[in-house]
Structure 1
Amino acid sequence: MTTDPKTPLPDGWHMVALGDVAKIIMGQSPPGSTVSDWDGELEEEPGLPFIQGNAEFGARSPTAVKWCATPLKIAEPGDTLLSVRAPVGATNRAECELAIGRGLAAVRFNDSQTPFGWHIVNHAKYELDRLTQGSTFSAIGSDVLRSLPIPLPPLEEQRGIATVLDTIDEAIERSEAIIAATERLHDALLHELLTRGVPGRHSEYRDVPVLGTIPASWEAAQLGEVATINRGLSWSRDQELPAAEEGSTPVVRIGNVQRDGFKMDDVLHIKGVSSQELERHQISDNHLIMVGSNGNPDRVGNLYLANNEVVGHVMASFLIGIKPFKGVATKYLDLSLSSWRPQRAITESTSGSTGLRNLSLEFLRSLRVALPPLPEQEEIAEALDGVEASIAQSKAQADTLRSLKASAAEALLTGTVRVRGK
């Protein structure tokens, strides 16, 4: 969104400073003695929910993990919560009174402008990001925020714009609710299949450490007994190339592995990879790729099925390749290792003293996995295919709606497309 005061605006619109049309409440950290955890056991709430910064932000509104008995700065219901520290511009809505810390500001429009205000501040994140580029520490102060130029249409048009954008937001929320519900169904079905087997197939069960209850006829094998496990390749700086060339090898680095899958728009190519290194580290179509080292312990153990985007690449050293032996279905092993019990064991096993958490290959090779006969492995994987396809379809729909929201917001909030309220 352009906020250049010289940019022509539609008739009846004005470029104004945010501080002229909204009250800006900059957050302030209260004394530590007034902040506490609360687990709901006390009869009375110990003050107000305390939101220090954007770490507590959710999809629409924040979730408090602390409470403040004597808040210094308070956001009211309906206020737009704006992150004033990295990432600057992130927004949430206050659904109730909140104590806010110095990482946030509350932007409070009058009642008639509150719905429009949420959208205009949310869209201004791009301008705020531009204002903080080049800063050593990404943050904005009250003066910058109050002087932020925003285009302001007549009140009737504000209401019309808010109605259109709210309608898209509601559709996005419905899609996200469907995704969350379907993911819960997936996890429940996966747990049932990994502990009870295919329905009607088993009548006797046994308990296995880490795995819990499994059918008595299943094997409880160590992962190193059913798959080859290798950490990725290390290389020297002089092997790196500015672009692909004949004989070079593409690399999947930790930055290419995001929570929602592979992102291969920035691929490094290296030279001088030996045939032995290729044999050990090159990704095949039945590989699983696991995050083996990361500063965020929750990322360690994240698992991905290799796809056509990465087959033929080599893995970098922060990643671990798991290649199942014959008789082990790759998709089944992916589901088994991604379930909550192995993931908890992996998280608890990580170590590191410099902020980087590392997963030991020795531990991973000793990790127990439940192994039914191959036909039942394939049945379990197939039983979840439909649920996963539904999740993927819902996520694609939500992404389409988000793109629509961004395009509609740009057009409506700059006056490129006009809408009239009632």
Structure 2
Amino acid sequence: MQSSIPLGWQELRIGQIAREISQRNRNSADIPVLSVTKHNGFVRSSEYFTRSVHSDDTSNYKIVRKGQFAYATIHLDEGSIALLKDFEHGLISPMYTVFEASSALVCSDYLFLCLKRFALSGRFDPYSNGGVNRRKSISFGDLKAFRFALPPLTEQRAIVEVLGAMEEAITKSEALIGELSAGKGHILKLYEAESASAPKMKLRSMVKSLTAGVSVGGEARGKYDHEFGVLRTSSVSSGIFLPDQLKVISEDNLDRVATNPKADCIIISRANTPELVGASAYVRENHNNVFLSDKLWQIDIRDRKSVNVRWLSLVLGTPRMRKMMSVRANGTSSSMQNISKSAFLGLEVSVPAIKVQNAIADAADVFETRQLQEQSYLNALKSTRAALAQELLSGRLRLPESMIARHREKSERAA
């Protein structure tokens, strides 16, 4: 492995630069209880879960302090690891492992980037304990033997700065998409105002057909132009149609797929989590190389002279309609619910005049067009950031000396 180490880097074990911390809340101090999430790092447990999931007695909980790490001992392979930055301290379940960087050779932010990457890529699997039917547990005693190449401290900090700038751009783009989505939501208040005295119709009188797709396995990766894909439920979960949320299917399964997304139709998730069952999106154009899965329906409208399909897609996305669909869904699993065709078609909608429908749809389109543009930009940002992180953290791509020198000068001034 020595020959694969980038010039100027050194190979170290995690145990040489980090140490485990196991301080318990023996004095029952009033410290917030935290959870470690795969995507948002440390969060207050009370805000992440809809109900209290921690014990009233927290005396055996571990204390984690700002600048320390924690990972779920049985979920590290899923990327459940975080660096505490937004709280001075917190309490976490004894099921977590807490540790801290203990060497001047390593920057904690850089170490976090590396550990997250190693966890998600399966690099820690050989250090885990557990069979096929058991969750794999990775103790710090085993993890500290893991070896990896570490660049000089100034290069670490330069890499953190570059990737941090991209992360900041991603955060700003996500915030803008949220604002645009909220703006579209305000448009729907026009519907509520105009529909107070409007006649009510059941969906079955408006819907010409409700067509499901077929369950087909595939690879969750980007699709080339000549390939075919089956849509995932995430293609409609945000309220806008994202045809790149798919699994690439092999040619062997092409004879099994059915139902392409058609222009001026609505796709809806008939099976999903309780929060996302009934999520839907409007389809603007035909898509001939992607297909619906069995968890998606395509809604075709009976009479487009009296019902604006774009308007109806907005109505189906209102909180009131989503709640009605969630209430009518059922299933044996609390994490996966289904709504039947009869339950869905039995839903009632207030239908204002077609000119009102058209006005609402046109106003919402202004927001959604921009939202789609920003979503495309966000996807490109995330893809670029992931590729750049892969290259920088492996040492295959090195930053210019001028960028690294800035951090060397900062260190010299601080000294």
The CA distance in 1 between the partners of 2:17 and 2:278, in whole Å, is: 48
> Who is 1:269 aligned against?
254
- Measure how far apart 1:25 and its partner are: 4.5
The CA distance in 1 between the partners of 2:142 and 2:286, in whole Å, is: 43
TM-score by length of 2: 0.74
The CA distance in 1 between the partners of 2:281 and 2:371, in whole Å, is: 16
1:47–1:70: 8 Å Cα contact kept in structure 2? no
Query: Percent of pairs identical after alignment?
Result: 18
- Measure how far apart 1:345 and its partner are: 0.7
1:27 to 1:190, Cα distance in 2 relative to 1, 3 A: farther
Alignment of 1:139-150 (within 5 A): 139-142=136-139, 143-150=141-148
> Who is 1:361 aligned against?
341
| Aligned counterpart for 1:321 among listed residues 298, 301, 307 | 298
Tell me the secondary structure at the aligned position of residue 277 of structure 2. Answer: coil
> Who is 2:162 aligned against?
164
> Who is 2:150 aligned against?
152
1:258 to 1:320, Cα distance in 2 relative to 1, 3 A: closer
The CA distance in 2 between the partners of 1:152 and 1:90, in whole Å, is: 22
- Measure how far apart 1:128 and its partner are: 3.5
- Measure how far apart 1:174 and its partner are: 2.1
The CA distance in 2 between the partners of 1:27 and 1:287, in whole Å, is: 57
> Who is 2:352 aligned against?
372
Tell me the secondary structure at the aligned position of residue 254 of structure 2. Answer: strand
Give the aligned CA root-mean-square deviation in angstroms: 3.7
Alignment of 1:345-356 (within 5 A): 345-353=324-332, 356=336
The CA distance in 2 between the partners of 1:76 and 1:178, in whole Å, is: 32
The CA distance in 1 between the partners of 2:274 and 2:288, in whole Å, is: 27
Task: Extract unaligned runs of 5+ from structure 2.
Answer: 47-51, 218-227, 410-415
- The answer to whether the aligner puts 1:417 opposite 2:374 as a matched pair is no
1:323 to 1:79, Cα distance in 2 relative to 1, 3 A: same
- The answer to whether the aligner puts 1:108 opposite 2:100 as a matched pair is yes
In structure 2, what residue type is equivalent to 1:14? Answer: Q
- The answer to whether the aligner puts 1:225 opposite 2:205 as a matched pair is yes
TM-score by length of 1: 0.73
| Aligned counterpart for 1:14 among listed residues 4, 10, 14 | 10
> Who is 1:195 aligned against?
192
In structure 1, what residue type is equivalent to 2:64? Answer: A
> Who is 1:395 aligned against?
375
1:227–1:322: 8 Å Cα contact kept in structure 2? yes
- The answer to whether the aligner puts 1:305 opposite 2:292 as a matched pair is no
The CA distance in 2 between the partners of 1:321 and 1:298, in whole Å, is: 20
Tell me the secondary structure at the aligned position of residue 169 of structure 1. Answer: helix
Q: Deviations over 1:306-333 (max 9, x none)?
A: 4656459775544333211222111111
In structure 1, what residue type is equivalent to 2:192? Answer: T
> Who is 2:309 aligned against?
330
2:262–2:283: 8 Å Cα contact kept in structure 1? yes
1:354 to 1:158, Cα distance in 2 relative to 1, 3 A: closer
- The answer to whether the aligner puts 1:120 opposite 2:101 as a matched pair is no
- Measure how far apart 1:336 and its partner are: 0.4
In structure 1, what residue type is equivalent to 2:61? Answer: L
- Measure how far apart 1:226 and its partner are: 1.2
> Who is 2:223 aligned against?
none
- Measure how far apart 1:339 and its partner are: 0.8
1:129 to 1:8, Cα distance in 2 relative to 1, 3 A: closer
1:190–1:384: 8 Å Cα contact kept in structure 2? yes
- The answer to whether the aligner puts 1:131 opposite 2:125 as a matched pair is yes
The CA distance in 2 between the partners of 1:27 and 1:266, in whole Å, is: 47
The CA distance in 2 between the partners of 1:309 and 1:15, in whole Å, is: 53
> Who is 2:222 aligned against?
none
Q: Deviations over 1:381-404 (max 9, x none)?
A: 110112112222323333333233
1:284 to 1:175, Cα distance in 2 relative to 1, 3 A: closer
In structure 2, what residue type is equivalent to 1:412? Answer: L
The CA distance in 1 between the partners of 2:383 and 2:235, in whole Å, is: 23
1:321 to 1:9, Cα distance in 2 relative to 1, 3 A: closer
1:354 to 1:109, Cα distance in 2 relative to 1, 3 A: closer
The CA distance in 1 between the partners of 2:209 and 2:266, in whole Å, is: 10
1:60 to 1:168, Cα distance in 2 relative to 1, 3 A: farther
